[in-house]
Amino acid sequence: MNRYYLDTSAAAKFLVDEAESVRLAQWADSPDVALVATHLLETELRRFAVRFDLAQVNVTAILARVEIYNLAPSVYREAGLLPGTTLRSLDALHLAASIRLDVAALVTYDVRLSEAAADVGLRVHAPSA
């Protein structure tokens, strides 16, 4: 089984119907896929649900499918030192956590985060329609 880091741009597709939603769900249901993230995912996904008036129970169901990790204090430093001038702070935390958790790939649909992952040699996976 391969572990994949799920960022918020991907997890949000489980809450709203977008072009990639069905394909992402099919891929995530594979027995070879284990989704991991940090507590940051819960905060961002719950805020997304509040912003779009979506049921929090659906967020809880998504999070139940993800193995959630705590971030060590050193990951915050590592995130701050990642290369690139366009990487946002929370995305830097997702990327640093992905590296630290030694995942097979980062699952994201965020262009800047995808580029930053490629810059540090981390594979990106974004199932599409």
Q: What residues are designated binding site for Mg(2+)? A: 7, 91
Q: Checking DSSP bridges between strand 105-107 and strand 66-69, what pairing results, if any?
A: unpaired
Say how far apart CA 82 and CA 64 lie, in whole Å: 30
- Cβ atoms 65, 28 nearer than 8 A: yes
Q: How many CB atoms lie within 10 A of CB 13?
A: 23
Q: Rounded CA gap, 91 and 40, in Å? A: 10
Residue positions in the annotated binding site?
A: 7, 91
Give the tokens for residue 30: 């594979």
Q: Are 115 and 92 in contact (CB under 8 A)?
A: no
